[in-house]
Structure 1
């Protein structure tokens, strides 16, 4: 009996164990007595009802009720879980009755469409109308084709919610035309994939941008195996190096590296392998397909442990142009841009190197030859800087031919060159090279149709020629002494060499001391009691012997050394540009003195006090941009009549300062200041200067005056100068007149004025004033 009861329960889908009929295992029918004749609740023989049948029915009803409640609870739980899952995944399920096209939607379907289940009854055509217009026709056709036969389908489309928001959905469905016991239907799911699509689109856009950057960028991206074999190359590699994928992929990259970089590249490759995910940057040269070399800055990163890459990634940026610029900068830093010779920096670097060798090995020998071209400024000023530059280039080539391959030829600037000789054993070789240079540079130069002649003055410092007390601390000290020797050569007649020695060293020290003293004196003169003073030498009329003017001559009373002659300090002032403040003081002091003399003469016949004062002006003053303005200010400040002032210049000042001198002199002449050409006959003595420059007075140099009565040539030259000046309406002053015989001859030759010890040596202010007063009474006494 128990077995039958349990079986019955099992048919309902459940199996229960209960103690309700636990003691019923079988029995005999109470009516017919048949043994084991019971089947469920009736006897199998007589069909009589069992006495416990009612109890069984009651138990069954109770069990059935309990089973229904449990199933309903389980179903509700499953439905709730399904709804939660659909909300989490944004998946709704749907079903369509293909005969009516009515739809059944899950709650998530309503949320996807932005509709309310209370106000909306889904239908296929209404559902399609909620899609964006451009999707509707295509989706309708998909459904129509699927409804013709049992088939599956899927598609993406765009749902437009009532709010206007558009959502992207992915639909999967299947048609069931042979539904068991039912109507044909279609069913499936719909998932809101808007965010997923946005992420996919962003990823796709990012990938497209990345691919565009890789394919069109200037950098080369490549991936290599651990052994250096190339696995991938970006298209930019072909643009930079000319290789296609077939040329390089599968080959070891090391064989394309420049020989100078191979060891460095291998070492960096080993470092990259040893340090995963650590970028290593280095430079490398790579052979172009055409055989040229291109240079790159590479960054390699070991991503062998990254499954997506599984290789070493290199990012290479072409720096060939940058390398060229760097090389040009290095060349510019070490070589002269005009002549391509070594420049000052490279010379000093090499010279310092040999000084260090000399310090470690006292027996080693070197020599420095310091060259300065003679009269180069004349070429520059007369023919122009372009011709001057071309001349310097030709000089550089000739110098290179005169030296050995181990020697260094440098241009310091302007027309100064230096030869550093190494690997020499004695002073004979440097002297031989100096002679070769002198001979070679004296040959004529042909520059754009101009034949040019020049020469050089050379100062030589030998490793053993410095005074025993002097051990060169640096390269600049060597160049300083070589420069001193060069100036000695130039002052001794040019186109020669001088070897630096004790005498030159002493002279250089003396000049250095002179320069320091001169700087202090100029500073004191401008700001305190002047150490300088003026003397005045009369200029007289040869006919009447009356004083017509004075030449101002500067003197220096140094507190410690006493009176210093002009020949000792004026050249130093010229070289150091101290002549500019000193010359300005002299000019101002001279004009002030004229003013004082004029004011001191109280006689109403002040017009009788008619004289001029001549002031020597250097070439550096004349070429200063503000010289004319400076002179005008002094004249305005003193109230001096410009005709009372004459400025004296030398022929060399005119030649060396060219157009600047011409402009300055014309500016002075327009003010009313007269111009005297000093020491005429000793320099260039060119008639072109007399025609080009506004010259009022020629002063014949004393060397010609001293020859009067000694040879006829001197007299002939003086006569020629006087006649030439007379034809140009230029006054003539003879300098250095010491005898009556010289005065008489000059007067017969037509010279108007003279200056010299025959009448007076240079005198102070008071004596000059006395001479001026005596001038009113008669001839100079």
Structure 2
């Protein structure tokens, strides 16, 4: 007589091992009779209850996290170590719909060994300053370390009771981007590590910045599992935001001032410059980092101004000035020469300058420092340049006693020029002719001086010249040459104009202490030259000892 085949359900009933099946939320949906034999609990009593109700409270987290070894409560209220490796079953969307496995009492491993392993695991978690977590699609967090309550205020039970808890507590502004990353991990086809930052709403309502270091674990035949570490980075993030806001405010202010910004590490000689810095010098495609700071600057600065620029910031580095500011000529990327102002301040550590930072300005864009009509520097630039010349000369005198005439390259002279009969030109021929006359005078003055000298328009028909590295006699000779050049007729349109100049000269031999002292002396000498029709008058220290020369 043929024996009818046994169905799978009948086979499960006959197995000596306990077969356990739960839904996605760990509710028991099937048990075979071996369950009662192993645990003492009746099958009917257990069906519909959570499997976690029978697990030791200290082991529920490890079971949810996928660790198959745990303690299970018997009907006698005793606990026995069991092994239960649950295999998940998923739907078309890879969401867990059920789990099943075989429950076996462990006899080959002693309870003491398992306790020690568990204690080591718990101690390890306590040393981590963050929340260790594990999650599965459709289930939510299957494991959370106890630090979740300290960092966010929620208990482990509160967090795990809702599969969508994490998504419900991510800041709304950060949720869309976080969900894109999260969903990609749940549906990944291979394992990989990833990281994301977001804000989480703590139980107190406080917003906590979280850095989440994650890994997606992809195993064939089971849903993707994520493991991660949530770290509170609120303090760090707030500091970053404050710095960003500060940088944005500073960037806005510097854009408003139209200056270029630079930062020079004196220990590494690395110079960092802003985009506006590059624009000012005509290097729009230039880089922002230069390994040799001074070598880069030397290529920009007119060779005749190198020494003066270096002297300006070295006086600051030596402690003689609270900051530095120096004007110089630079070669623009287009090939033309431009006047720039370079200023800054140093940072000192243990008396040693380690860093300098400041700004760079195009003086042609500063209306008060540059004369638009003649394209010459104005009064502020001239005063600044004269101040540097005075400081260099005084430094030389303080180091070597009374300055020597021969070989003393810090000697200088100041010339103040006032055009003769300029008002008559304006009154008879018009201001447009007078403007063109001033432009031609400016070009003649530039042609009469060297590259290291400075010609400036102070106001109206008044000009100043600063002669550097020149002794008293040479300065006087140069003044005569200028007077002769300016006395030659000018051709302006249909007009021929004759307009000489009265020139006052004062050299560094006078030993004045301030810029105003030199300008007053030059003005007094110029007034003497004009009132007595001398052409050139050299200041010698007393009104009765001025010497003049008449140019016809």
On whether the aligned pair clears a TM of 0.5, the verdict is no
Alignment TM-score, normalising by the size of structure 1: 0.29
Alignment TM-score, normalising by the size of structure 2: 0.39
Q: Which has the higher contact order (CA 8 A, sep 6+)?
A: 2
Greater percentage in helix: 1
